[in-house]
Amino acid sequence: MRLVILGAGGFIGSNLVEYLIDQAEHQVVGIDVTAEKLHGIEGPNFEFIQADIAAAPEVADGVIEKADTVVDLIAYANPSIYVETPLEVVQLNFFENLRIAETCIKYGKRLIQYSTSEVYGKNPAGATFREDESDLILGPVTKHRWIYAASKQVLERMLHGHGLAGDLHYTILRPFNFVGPRFDYLVPAGTKGGPRVFAHFMSALLTGGPMYLVDSGEQRRCFTHIDDANRAFSVVLDSPEAHNEVFNVGNPATDTSVRELAMLMIATYTELTGNTPQNELVEISGEEFYGPGYEDTNRVPPDISKLESLGWSPRLDLEQTFRDAIKYNLDPKNNTTTMGGAR
Ligand code: NAD
Ligand code: UGA
């Protein structure tokens, strides 16, 4: 199959490219503004095109025309960006992504769109997130962190509308905190804002800096090993039942608080290196860490029965997920410096 991966240079994109080009039946074209995370990922069935989809939309247009399936991973995917530059988030995550969907419609191509678990927003404790039943509950406009979830939600609704109109074949994936090699970028000790939580805690382990627990660290997440996430992609790629459907991609069994995650990462680092880190765990408010407009949610585990009905289930537990990601970062040659993005 001829696949176009938009955002191929990012965390999910680089792992997906590496996974797909091992399968000789696929021809993969990747587009991104940066190729840093693709270093060493090569194959006769892979071509990378360095381009900005906003500044040069004709590049993506030309590649999509020749493809069978388009995989759209392009977005600002980092809470500190939602807080710092909300207008850029809606411009890229909604308007530019909608243009990609319209190009798919123009050429009659299938679209696999990465959305987010954040669309579920602030559901009450005890709820489980079900794709076709749960309400999507976002915070106030003045908490502009929600601009990310709002942009992704409207995009999902547009794809659904086009599906109803019969002019688009789409599948929407909602990732729940994927973790693995090439995740975000490392930061100097004491950095606030910046990358997502694994990269922060990893940086602290390497530098000896503080591990910040935002708003007490009692909030919970379900982390998903990137290898399980790649297999989920293959399942929907090959399933006729995924036609115009939405799927959670997550691992309910990894449900853990951010504080517990810090402890787990300290223990795993100790086991892997033989050194016991002396990081201080420092509680900090969300506004102090990210800036005004931040708000968080205490997520609950995803319901994954829909994807399980297609034959997928997660295989890798919490410990394995973080062991693999930490091990990768212990080799200094693996550390990338940027999140990418047209910024
Ligand atoms: P990422 O930031 O690592 O990857 C996004 C990529 O898009 C980057 O490499 C970036 O350079 C590229 N990009 C941004 N603007 C571009 C432009 N104008 N032209 C070309 N390329 C551009 O993020 P990720 O973690 O790999 O996430 C990928 C997708 O999955 C995003 O849509 C994100 O919202 C979604 N998602 C990810 C997670 C997760 O756990 N990582 C969770 C939920 C949703
Ligand atoms: C992220 C991003 O919004 C998206 O990539 C994606 O949509 C979503 O994950 C997802 O995977 O579903 P979030 O989970 O809030 O959202 O991002 P992280 O930065 O990884 O934060 C996780 C939790 O750790 C948050 O509660 C945050 O406040 C906390 N945190 C973060 C800390 O306590 N300390 C830190 O140093 C960093």
User: pLDDT of 57-98, one tens digit each?
Assistant: 999 999 999 999 999 999 999 999 999 999 999 999 999 999
The 8-class DSSP code of residue 133 comes to T
Question: What integer pLDDT is reported at residue 127 of this predicted model?
Answer: 85
Residue 335 pLDDT more than 80? no
Alpha carbon of 275 to ligand 1 centroid (Å): 34
Residue closest to 205 by CA, chosen among 293, 110, 250, 269: 269
The 8-class DSSP code of residue 242 comes to G
State the ligand closest to the CA atom of 88: 1
Residue closest to 255 by CA, chosen among 309, 314, 214, 202: 314
pLDDT mean over 249-260? 98
H or E element at residue 5: strand 2-6
pLDDT mean over 37-46? 96
H or E element at residue 220: strand 220-221
Question: What integer pLDDT is reported at residue 101 of this predicted model?
Answer: 98
Q: Whose Cα sits closest to atom 7 in ligand 2?
A: 116
Q: Whose Cα sits closest to atom 44 in ligand 1?
A: 116
Q: Whose Cα sits closest to atom 17 in ligand 1?
A: 52
- Residue 254 · residue 334 · CB < 8 Å: no
pLDDT mean over 300-324? 97
Where residue 343 falls among pLDDT bands split at 50, 70, 90?
Answer: very low
Where residue 339 falls among pLDDT bands split at 50, 70, 90?
Answer: low
Instruction: Report pLDDT digits (tens) over 121-177.
Output: 998 878 899 999 999 999 999 999 999 999 999 999 999 999 999 999 999 999 999
Query: Can you tell me the distance from the alpha carbon of 95 to that of 88, in angstroms, rounded to the nearest whole number?
Result: 10
Instruction: Report pLDDT digits (tens) over 256-303.
Output: 999 999 999 999 999 999 999 999 999 999 999 999 999 999 888 999
Residue 107 pLDDT more than 80? yes
How many percent of the chain have pLDDT more than 70? Answer: 97
pTM: 0.97
Q: Which is the closest atom of ligand 2 to the Cα of 217? A: 33
Q: Is 328 a catalytic residue?
A: no
The DSSP code sequence of 139-175 is: --TTSGGGHHHHHHHHHHHHHHHHHHHTS--EEEEEE
Query: Can you tell me the distance from the alpha carbon of 337 to that of 33, in angstroms, rounded to the nearest whole number?
Result: 14
Query: Can you tell me the distance from the alpha carbon of 156 to that of 154, in angstroms, rounded to the nearest whole number?
Result: 5
Question: What integer pLDDT is reported at residue 334 of this predicted model?
Answer: 84
Question: What integer pLDDT is reported at residue 341 of this predicted model?
Answer: 47
Question: What integer pLDDT is reported at residue 342 of this predicted model?
Answer: 40
How many percent of the chain have pLDDT more than 90? Answer: 94
3-state class percentages of the chain: helix first, strand second, coil last, to nearest 5: 45, 15, 40
